[in-house]
Amino acid sequence: MKKSFYLAAAIPSFGACHRILPGILCGALLSLPACKPANNEAGAAGGTQASPSADAKSAGGSESSGGKKASSAPSIPDLPPLDHPAKVAEAAKALDFEQFEIMPGVEKGPGERSLAHLTYRATGDVKAAFEFNRAKLQALGWKELPGTAVQNEYASATFQRGGFHVSLTISPTGGDGKVDVMMANHGNVDFTKVPLPPNLTKVYEGPITAIYTAGEPVAATAETCQKLLQAAGWQPYGFAGDSKYYKQNAVLLTVMVSSAPAQGGKTMINLGSEQLSADLPALPDAQDLRYTDQTGRLDYQTPATRADVEKFYRTSMGTLGWEPTLDHAIEDKGRFFVIFRNPEKAMTSLYMSDVKEGGTKVQLEYLSPTQFAEMDRRATEQGEKLKAKLAAEKNAPKPQLKLKLPAGATGVKKESSGVEFTVTSGNAKAAVNDLRKQCSDLGWTEEIAVLENIGGTVSLKKDPLSLSISYTDSGVTPAEVNLMLVGGELTVE
């Protein structure tokens, strides 16, 4: 379900269905009588939600496909619409899926949860799951828009609040009594105010997608769209096939320009939008840009040097209210990183790697305040567990190994894990063989045994203990024997 925006290929995902939907429906929609030309004058900040769309004004109380009228939303004041694409903090005021109540019967918690997306699998049927989530949204002041469909095998609806649009989709998993719940915030874009080429014909305009046709060729139309959008503050943010992605603040706009089927050479423009959980800037010359909102990760390559990349992010992240934790990048196994924190206690990690052919690989990883707090909690919990384990091991009695000194042993020196002694010259090998037999009788396994008259070594093991025995015997002076135990205490008598 993860959503990535690739330069060369799209990754299927829940969010992608809202981008694919226009392509599926376009044949039927394009067969309808032509509508009046669309009003494509750019609004404030290049196409943001300045006021609810006409469809949105009839929010709540829509009829589902099953004939059941949607319950009316509680009397909660609507949020004032923004005059620009929403920033992360502004989107959080409308709805934060990290704080959204999920259904009972979720065995392992949400499958994917971020500020703008929520997907999980729960026990229940489609209708019950739909009613649960509908009620939770309405309790937060979200108004249901017309077009709700609720059937035994599928349910979908769109909700609006403060110019933001949220989609809810429920589907069964396949006869096991479970359903997949998918919710996404599509941001606060008003498609009627997105700057587009003139003289377009409107095919469809809805809260989360819009379709138009143009008389100009595909390439020329795509070029005009990009110029108009960039002039309105929308920055390129990767592409996949015919679809190009543009970001402004924390809103992603999808623009797909392609040949319209069975329309005599006309060009089709599909628009879609998505609220992002993180506002992660990218260099203008980013190549092979990939972003996954549910994981908060941005990857791309740039011809810029690592020093220029670091300078760009120190400036751009600072503009967004982030502060680096150090004044220089830290190297770790050939990769350099900088950590940024913001007043909301979120964290963004910047990783940079030099490319052999020139340029830099860039990776950003975002953790929301909730995610960072959870990571910190787990780290603290694991630290406490490790501390307790080490304390228990320290205080626990150590395993013991008791051996009898061979006959004739003198000059004994004892430590907690080692013993040294001497025997008369020429008798070291026999003394070691005596110790080997004692260990064998106690269930020890011999792993190494090298025994010569002038010296040797023996290695034995009995979990969790390891014992090594070594000796030197010149045949002239007294022979020396050393025992070393690892993992416990050695005593001799």
Using CB atoms within 10 Å of the CB of residue 278, give its burial: 0 to 12 exposed, 13 to 18 middle, 19+ buried. buried
131 contacts: CB under 8 Å, gap ≥ 6:
none
Q: Give mean pLDDT, residues 395-402.
A: 87
Examine the pLDDT at 34 and tell me if it is beyond 90.
no
Average pLDDT over residues 374-391: 91
Of residues 5 and 292, more confidence is placed in 292
Mark out the alpha helices in 300-402 (DSSP H runs): 306-319, 369-395
Proportion of the chain in helix, strand, coil states, percent, rounded to 5: 25, 35, 40
What lies within 8 Å, CB to CB, of 312 at 6+ separation is 281, 283, 304
Q: What is the pTM of this model?
A: 0.69
Average pLDDT value over all residues in the chain:
86
Is pLDDT at 78 greater than 50 in this prediction? Answer: yes
Above 50 in pLDDT, residue 65? no
Least confident of 2-16, 133-147, 316-330, 375-389: 2-16
Q: How far apart are CA 116 and CA 279, in angstroms?
A: 12
Higher pLDDT, 162 or 13: 162
Pick the range with the lowest mean pLDDT from 197-201, 254-258, 263-267, 489-493.
263-267
Tell me if 261 sits within 8 A of 206, measured CB to CB.
Answer: no
Residue 178 phi/psi, 5° resolution? Answer: -125, 160
When mean pLDDT is compared across 33-42, 254-263, 265-274, 462-471, the lowest value belongs to 33-42
Reply yes or no on whether the pLDDT at 114 is more than 90. Answer: yes
pLDDT at 50 over 70: no
Every domain of the chain and the residues it spans = 49-185, 303-372, 400-492
400-403 and 489-492 strand pairing: parallel
Q: Tell me, what's the pLDDT at 109?
A: 64
pLDDT at 47: 53
Least confidently predicted of 107-121, 136-150, 358-372, 429-443: 107-121
CB 65 within 8 A of CB 230: no
> Can you tell me which residue has the tokens 């670091």?
310
- State yes or no: pLDDT of 397 exceeds 50: yes
Q: Are strands 297-302 and 287-292 parallel, antiparallel or unpaired?
A: antiparallel
Predicted confidence (pLDDT) per residue in 165-222, tens digit: 999 999 998 878 899 999 999 999 999 999 999 999 999 999 999 999 999 999 999 9
* 216, 224 Cβ separation under 8 angstroms: yes
The pLDDT of residue 265 is: 79
What number of helices (H) and strands (E) belong to the chain? 7, 28
Dihedral (CA of 394, 396, 397, 401) sign: negative
Q: How confident is the model at residue 110 (pLDDT cuts 50, 70, 90)?
A: low
What integer pLDDT is reported at residue 105 of this predicted model?
Answer: 82
What mean pLDDT is predicted for residues 128-154?
Answer: 96
The pLDDT tens digits of the residues spanning 79-95 come to 999 999 999 999 999 99
Q: Which CATH class is domain 400-492?
A: alpha beta
DSSP conformation letters of 249-317: TTEEEEEEEEEPTTSTT-EEEEEEEEE-S------TT-EEEEEETTTTEEEEEESS-HHHHHHHHHHHH
Q: Are 225 and 257 in contact (CB under 8 A)?
A: yes
Torsion angle of the four alpha carbons 20, 248, 116, 240, in this order, in degrees rounded to the nearest 10: 30
pLDDT bin (cut points 50, 70, 90) of residue 26 is very low
- String of b and e for 420-456 (b: at least 16 CB within 10 Å)? ebbbeeebbbebbeebbeebeeeebeeeeeeeeeebb
Instruction: Name, in order, each residue with C-beta under 8 angstroms of 228's C-beta and a sequence gap of 6 or more.
Output: 42, 195, 196, 197
Rounded CA gap, 276 and 279, in Å?
7
Tokens of 404: 């009898």
pLDDT value at residue 475: 87
Find all residues with CB under 8 Å of 448, minimum gap 6, and list them: 457, 458, 459
From first CA to last CA, the distance across the chain in angstroms is 68
Q: Cα(166)–Cα(56) distance, rounded to whole angstroms?
A: 12
CA 334, distance to chain mean position in Å, is 23
Q: Which pLDDT score is estimated for 264?
A: 76
| Element (DSSP H or E) covering residue 412 | strand 410-414
More confident residue, 481 or 60: 481
Residues 252 and 289: beta-carbon distance below 8 Å: no
